[in-house]
Structure 1
Amino acid sequence: MNRVLDYIDRNLDGQLDLPGLADIANFSRYHFHRLFAAWMGETLGDYVRRRRLEVAAHKLAAGGAVLEVALSTGFGSGEAFARAFKLRFGSTPTEWRNNTPARIAAWLAEIDAQHSNPDQANSKHDQDGGGAAGEHLGSNNHHGARKMEVKVIDLPPARIAYRRHIGPYGPAIGQFWDATIMPWILGNGLAHATCYGIGHDDPSVTPADKCRYDACVEIPEGFEPGGQFSVASLPGGRYAVTRYTGSPRDIGPVWNRLMNEWLPSSGLQCDERPCFERYESLATQTGGSFTCDICIPVKAL
């Protein structure tokens, strides 16, 4: 089923029919629709429509032309795209694109308010803007006094085993690592392997219960994880990388500062590869504070 979700995201501009997706999943075409709905909590058609509109929202926020965005996400015309987009987000595509700075500012202000009020933050952790067990960038929040230190470097591809969590980001992700991933890592002799956390969705756009997160560990050639772990290749290439040391609860404002302050002033833009956190020897990090690199795939404007 993970192969199906990944295939959908890579082919949003193409024909995504039930028989073809059932074949990718190696499931019976007769039963696939029911199995997909039971696993994802929404029908295949609803899922594809939601993903197309969420990806379109991101492309518009990055300044994409409306018709170009519509075609690249599988809509046959600008008119059909505009109708579907307004039904989902309550604004036209052009309004969404033009209002991006104000929308981001409002969302950052809400996150700041949550972090300055622990009781509120704990009650609303499902809306935390981060992705993994937690990381920070080299400053305390997006008002931080210290300049963010970011390096643009080339990273090699990595062969990874991953297990997917679907649900709210925040504390649940840390529990997922502790209860499910780390015992498997230690049991397979991978305690010193590099680990990665990939948050596939933006919680300001995607409903919290639909957010996808992959907990990943680098594996050598020939190693086959089996069970509920899948194998994938994490793309190499050029990334903007910044080192974080800190506690999990500061993840949201720091991710937002990197994406919404550093990136627009860098002369670079994100491409289609996933953003991720990279942890070296995660099994040795204890005490509620840890170190990782936050990696954003970039290309020239």
Structure 2
Amino acid sequence: MNILNRHEYDRRMHRVLDHIDRHLDRQLSVAELAEVAHFSAFHFHRMFTAWMGETVADHVRRRRLETAASRLASQPGVTVLQAALAAGFGSAEAFTRAFKLHFGLAPTAWRQAQQESKIGQVHSKIGQAGMPAAGHDDASTNHGEYSMIEVSIVERNPVHVAYLRKTGPYGPELGRFWGEVVYPWMATNNLLGLPRYGICLDDPTVTAPEQCRYDAAVEVPPERLLSGNPMRTVVPGGQYAVHRFRGPVEQVAGAWLALTRDWLPASGLQLDARPFVEHYPPDAAYDPATGVFEAELCMPVTRL
């Protein structure tokens, strides 16, 4: 397969994964997903399995369970039945069986274990675009500093971006990804100085490290031609809870944790299916000597 064909293949499959994540609350057929990808329904299942390393059904089930697990961990008021229905399961019983098979614990016991260990919903949803490596074994280390976190409810417009994706563990490798892959690509395409986004598509507390997807994105109009075969997408608009973070990399996980564990349950809002986003405006400061940086931590919310 030549480079151009490989890029088109990847682009179509990325579109399918995005479609799945946005429609986990309803049934998704192979025929529908094949149509999204513009591939033959007859061959799509085999192609998807070869590309993802798991069947369509296994992938959809895993994403439903991971999304439900994140909801249970971050929203104490959500019942097991509510989490099950929101994730596309027809009953709490079917959800509980699938959940226990995947995570090793029933949903209620798993939620209790998360609360006791203080892991929370976003142990390290961090990108650090163009910054030192991030990733923390104890996201609660700096939690007390953010007990009175300041949050604004912001209506954000959809944003067209070009992105490079990394699949694998979050943490230090993301800093290297920005520095060694993304920054040179941005420089080659004269993209330095434009708004950037770190988009974590999976929750590292529930998704296996090798399956975590991360997009390093730059805001560009869709018609702009770029070298390097980046993917294109739209960062969803809508309502976000935004915390304007300023501090060293060691504190960002504590800020994310405070947003989800402390602020969200008392807000009267809940998470929806859009991804968490770190927005780096063009004027966002970064001090390489101290590691202090600025970013907008954008958590997608909707009415409870």
Q: Distance in 1 between matches of 2:151 and 2:207?
A: 28
Q: Distance in 1 between matches of 2:266 and 2:284?
A: 36
SS at match of 2:233: strand
The verdict on how the C-alpha distance between 1:220 and 1:45 changes in structure 2, with shifts beyond 3 A counting, is same
Deviation of 1:57 after TM superposition, in Å, equals 1.8
Q: TM-score, normalised by structure 2?
A: 0.79
Matched to 1:242, the amino acid is H
Q: Which sits farther off after the overlay, 252-261 or 46-55?
A: 252-261
1:103 equivalent among 99, 104, 114: 114
SS at match of 2:174: helix
Cα offsets for 1:182-236 (capped at 9, x unmatched): 2222222221210111112111111111111111111135324475422222222
SS at match of 1:47: helix
2:106 equivalent among 92, 112, 116: 92
SS at match of 2:162: strand
Contact 1:108 1:253 in 2 (8 A): no
2:67 equivalent among 37, 55, 69: 55
Q: Distance in 2 between matches of 1:191 and 1:284?
A: 14
Deviation of 1:276 after TM superposition, in Å, equals 0.6
Q: Distance in 2 between matches of 1:108 and 1:81?
A: 22
1:297 matched to 2:300? The reply is yes
The verdict on how the C-alpha distance between 1:95 and 1:239 changes in structure 2, with shifts beyond 3 A counting, is same
Q: Distance in 1 between matches of 2:67 and 2:256?
A: 19
Equivalent positions of 1:46-85 (< 5 A) are 46-61=58-73, 62=75, 63-85=77-99
Deviation of 1:64 after TM superposition, in Å, equals 3.0
Identity across matched positions, percent: 47
Q: Distance in 2 between matches of 1:283 and 1:187?
A: 21
Q: TM-score, normalised by structure 1?
A: 0.80
1:6 matched to 2:9? The reply is no
SS at match of 2:177: helix
1:281 matched to 2:282? The reply is yes
SS at match of 1:132: coil
- 2:127 corresponding residue in structure 1: 132
SS at match of 1:164: strand
Equivalent positions of 1:1-301 (< 5 A) are 1-61=13-73, 62=75, 63-97=77-111, 99=112, 103-108=114-119, 129-133=124-128, 134=134, 141-144=142-145, 147-220=148-221, 222-225=223-226, 227-281=228-282, 285=286, 287=288, 288-301=291-304
Query: What 5-or-longer segments of structure 1 have no aligned partner?
Result: 110-126
Query: What 5-or-longer segments of structure 2 have no aligned partner?
Result: 1-12, 129-133
The verdict on how the C-alpha distance between 1:156 and 1:17 changes in structure 2, with shifts beyond 3 A counting, is closer
The verdict on how the C-alpha distance between 1:282 and 1:189 changes in structure 2, with shifts beyond 3 A counting, is farther
- 1:118 corresponding residue in structure 2: none
Count of residues in correspondence between the two structures? 279
Q: Distance in 2 between matches of 1:240 and 1:83?
A: 33
The verdict on how the C-alpha distance between 1:264 and 1:76 changes in structure 2, with shifts beyond 3 A counting, is closer
Contact 1:135 1:245 in 2 (8 A): no
Matched to 1:72, the amino acid is A
The verdict on how the C-alpha distance between 1:209 and 1:236 changes in structure 2, with shifts beyond 3 A counting, is same
Q: Which sits farther off after the overlay, 287-296 or 67-76?
A: 67-76
